[in-house]
Structure 1
Amino acid sequence: MASDELDQRNKLVTNERAKLTATYVNGVAVAVLAVGGLAPVFAQRLPGPIDPSAAIRTALTSLVCIVVSGVLHWMGRSILRGLR
């Protein structure tokens, strides 16, 4: 294999690894949003006794998970900026 071909192959492998990592991080971001950000909100909508302190905890937990999800998504995007 010529040096140029080897360099091209190495770049391709590096890019594919970066895309795979970014996809994984974004998948985790989606899971955090769904499980921690949205599910508690929907669970609060179920009929039953309403506890005001539980509602506040749910809102805070959801907010934290939404922010964490956004940060993870941003990290995935920043990984892709390194593509060559």
Structure 2
Amino acid sequence: MVRNEQRKLSATYFNGAALAVMGVGGFTLIVAIAQSAQPAPAAFVVVVSCMWARASLHWPARRLLKGLEE
């Protein structure tokens, strides 16, 4: 039972980090659009990088939860 709780805590941590990275990517695009009518290509690079990083953090969380014991 303790092992399951530890796995859930680790999965929550990874998922929270993934959400934070996704927020940074979304916030970057919003700020870039607000500053100019046509955002710089660098803003899109940041957004794509953040989305890739989000997926990279989310998958370990899913793998941890697959290891839950009954």
Common fold by TM > 0.5: yes
Which residue of the partner structure matches residue 9 of structure 1? none
Which residue of the partner structure matches residue 19 of structure 2? 30
* Unpaired runs of at least 5, structure 2: none
| CA RMSD of superposed structures (Å) | 1.6
Query: CA separation in 1, counterparts of 2:50 and 2:7?
Result: 25
Which residue of the partner structure matches residue 59 of structure 2? 74
Given residue 26 of structure 1, which amino acid in structure 2 is its aligned partner? N
Question: Between Structure 1 and Structure 2, how many residues are aligned?
Answer: 69
Relative distance call for 1:47 and 1:58 in structure 2 (3 A) is closer
Query: CA separation in 2, counterparts of 1:19 and 1:41?
Result: 32
Query: CA separation in 1, counterparts of 2:23 and 2:59?
Result: 17
Q: What do residues 26-76 of structure 1 show as CA deviations (whole Å, max 9, x unaligned)?
A: 0000000001x10110001214586x7xx1111011101101101111110
4+ long deviations beyond 6 Å: none
TM-score of the superposition, structure 2-length normalised?
0.88
Which residue of the partner structure matches residue 28 of structure 2? 40
Percent sequence identity is 36
Relative distance call for 1:42 and 1:49 in structure 2 (3 A) is closer
Query: CA separation in 2, counterparts of 1:32 and 1:69?
Result: 6
**The structure with more radius of gyration:** 1
